[in-house]
């Protein structure tokens, strides 16, 4: 991507605040492109293939995982960045890295580990993502982590509106008093656009929500009718998929238009001015914000708290707790390479890192190995 294409308020690889460790490069890729490539090739990214989004992997091959979700976020985020003339390489790096720190079994795993680690610094998935790219990936000869650019690491720790509540001090090196780059800001909303819409698709496919249920959601219903009017002969399956596609397009259009209006209203002409703003410039319009809020409430009530999702949540909470307690009582159950980190990071944190890195499938298999008497160790 050529720098002359970028808007004056975009992030530039040439103006990056750099990396923690100096290293020789074998080619001349721009900084943020290199970051994106390092994320794609790291072990934590591959493990996302078998980590829960809403539906556990064994429930079917159709449903999104953390990996396919991350790819959808990257696609949406790059489309937004292109319209805003932002740095697409940085946007893609952030989109692909934003869920690296997620546990098995989605937010249930995060809540369990945060509870179990209450007296040892807690657990939060954005902080874990940063920990992965700074410490836990072991690929390079002279340093731990991926040695990503400062702006990429900043975008990871500032992901989500709650970043400024981080209790561990993880955000301290990343200018907590400054707004994130526009590239970092848009990831939050690209993430939301992706999961709201693909969770509708997955929920309908699973039969956990019905098409008739969605009639109470204004944003869905008016888009569904618009698609029906435009394609009156369309079968129901295709109308649903087209409605999701149109919804994504409408949300992106609203986001781009509102953000450009905010930039113009505030007279933003540089990245420094972006960072000095009291609130994020990337946003939905007030009308779309309310419509999207209605959709989120519907999904929370009808899908995320569905009885079958709840059953899996309760099971996951139980056996992740048992794994943690068993490892804490018998730390030598961990692989030797993890035991070697006890002195540096503390036993509890290493156990937490180990469990957080597990896929759903590995965690279930490990539970069987530890608790089922006829399962091979």
Answer whether 76's CB lies under 8 Å from 248's CB.
yes
d(CA 258, CA 284): 6
Q: What is the pLDDT of residue 57?
A: 58
Question: Closest Cα partner for 246 from 189, 289, 193, 207?
Answer: 193
DSSP per-residue string spanning 136-169: I---SSS-SS----HHHHHHHHT-STTGGG-SSS
Sign of CA dihedral 52, 55, 58, 60: negative
Q: What is the pLDDT of residue 58?
A: 55
Structure tokens at 38: 């390092």
DSSP 13: G
CA distances from residue 103 to 74, 129, 166, 259, 357 in whole angstroms, order as listed:
20, 10, 18, 32, 6
The C-alpha R_g of the chain, in whole angstroms, comes to 22
Number of Cβ within a 10 Å radius of residue 160:
16
Domain boundaries, the chain: 28-309, 312-371
pTM over 0.85: yes
Q: Would you write out the chain's pLDDT as a tens digit for each of its 377 residues?
A: 556 689 999 999 999 999 999 998 889 999 999 999 999 999 999 999 988 877 665 565 667 889 999 999 999 999 999 999 999 999 999 999 999 999 999 889 999 999 999 999 999 999 999 999 999 999 999 999 999 999 999 999 998 744 334 455 788 899 999 999 999 999 999 999 999 999 998 889 889 999 999 999 999 999 999 999 999 999 999 999 999 999 999 999 999 999 999 999 999 999 999 999 999 999 999 999 999 999 999 999 998 888 888 888 898 899 899 999 999 999 999 999 999 999 999 999 999 999 999 999 999 999 999 888 766 76
Q: Which CATH class is domain 28-309?
A: mainly alpha
d(CA 363, CA 297): 30
Q: Give the contacts of 132 (CB within 8 A, at least 6 positions apart).
A: 42, 44, 100, 101, 145
């Amino acid at each position: 991507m050529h720098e002359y294409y970028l808007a004056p308020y975009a992030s530039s690889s040439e103006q990056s605040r750099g990396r923690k460790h100096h290293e020789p490069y074998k080619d001349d890729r721009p900084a943020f492109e290199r970051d994106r490539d390092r994320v794609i090739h790291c072990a934590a990214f591959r493990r996302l293939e078998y980590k829960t989004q809403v539906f556990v992997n064994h429930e079917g091959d159709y449903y999104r995982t953390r990996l396919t979700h991350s790819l959808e976020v990257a696609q949406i985020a790059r489309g937004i960045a292109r319209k805003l003339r932002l740095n697409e390489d940085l946007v893609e790096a952030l989109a692909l890295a934003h869920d690296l720190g997620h546990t098995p079994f989605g937010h249930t795993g995060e809540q369990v580990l945060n509870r179990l680690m209450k007296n040892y610094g807690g657990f939060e998935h954005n902080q874990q993502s940063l920990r992965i790219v700074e410490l836990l990936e072991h690929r390079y000869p002279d340093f731990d982590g991926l040695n990503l650019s400062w702006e990429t690491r900043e975008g990871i720790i500032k992901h989500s509106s709650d970043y400024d509540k981080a209790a561990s001090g993880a955000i301290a090196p990343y200018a907590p008093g400054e707004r994130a780059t526009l590239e970092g800001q848009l990831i939050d909303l690209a993430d939301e656009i992706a999961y709201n819409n693909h969770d509708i698709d997955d929920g309908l496919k699973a039969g956990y929500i019905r098409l008739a249920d969605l009639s109470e959601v204004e944003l869905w219903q008016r888009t569904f009718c618009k698609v029906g009017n435009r394609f009156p002969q369309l079968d129901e399956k295709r109308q649903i998929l087209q409605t999701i596609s149109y919804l994504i397009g409408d949300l992106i259009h609203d986001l781009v238009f509102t953000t450009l209006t905010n930039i113009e209203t505030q007279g933003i002409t540089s990245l420094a001015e972006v960072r000095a703003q009291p609130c994020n410039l990337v946003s939905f319009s007030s009308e779309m914000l309310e419509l999207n809020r209605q959709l989120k409430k519907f999904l929370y009530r009808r899908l995320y708290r569905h009885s079958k999702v709840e059953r899996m949540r309760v099971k996951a909470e139980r056996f992740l707790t048992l794994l943690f307690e068993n490892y804490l009582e018998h730390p030598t159950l961990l692989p030797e390479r993890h035991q070697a980190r006890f002195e540096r990071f503390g036993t509890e944190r290493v156990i937490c890192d180990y469990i957080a890195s597990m896929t759903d499938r590995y965690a279930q298999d490990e539970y069987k190995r530890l608790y089922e008497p006829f399962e091979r160790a």
